Amino acid sequence: MEIAVTNGITVTVETNYLPHHSDPREDRFIFGYHIMIENGSSHTVQLLRRHWYIIDAAAQIREVEGEGVVGEQPILSPGERYEYASYCDLSTEMGKMRGHYLMTRSEEDLLFKVEIPEFRMIVPSKLN
């Protein structure tokens, strides 16, 4: 589990390898990730955009940017949390992701970035 805190917003990430969706013979490795975003600040915030850097073991870098997460732009009051699950496909058995969310404080119309901690994706057989 990886954790980062920015401006009172905590982002926690857990990953797992999805062997039933992967095909190692075709260099296709699928990893799921579960993210929890907790608003520990005293402000209501909204997640507007995401920006990911995906790096595989061959040092290939992909950038993914877009509105919201899993089709939503959640609003979090102080003390609330939002969770979602998604996945990443790699052409190597190992890789990592990092990035940030662009959020706003509704009452102040203030934009700010929230760090998504770097997390590794590793096929379990590579951990031995």
CA 32 to chain centre: 10
- The confidence band for 127, taking pLDDT boundaries of 50, 70 and 90, is confident
Domains within the chain, CATH numbers bracketed: 2-127 (2.60.40.1470)
Which of these, 96, 87, 70, lies nearest to 19 by C-alpha position? 87
Q: Is 69 exposed, middle or buried (0-12, 13-18, 19+ CB in 10 A)?
A: middle
List C-alpha distances in Å: 105 to 37, 44, 101: 15, 6, 13
Question: By three-state DSSP, how is residue 29 classified?
Answer: strand
Q: Model confidence over 61-106: pLDDT tens digits? A: 999 999 999 999 999 999 999 999 999 999 999 999 999 999 999 7
Q: Model confidence over 18-37: pLDDT tens digits? A: 999 999 999 999 999 999 99
Kindly tell me if the per-residue pLDDT of 128 is higher than 70.
no
Q: In this predicted structure, what is the pLDDT of residue 9?
A: 97
Q: Averaged over 47-73, what is the pLDDT?
A: 95
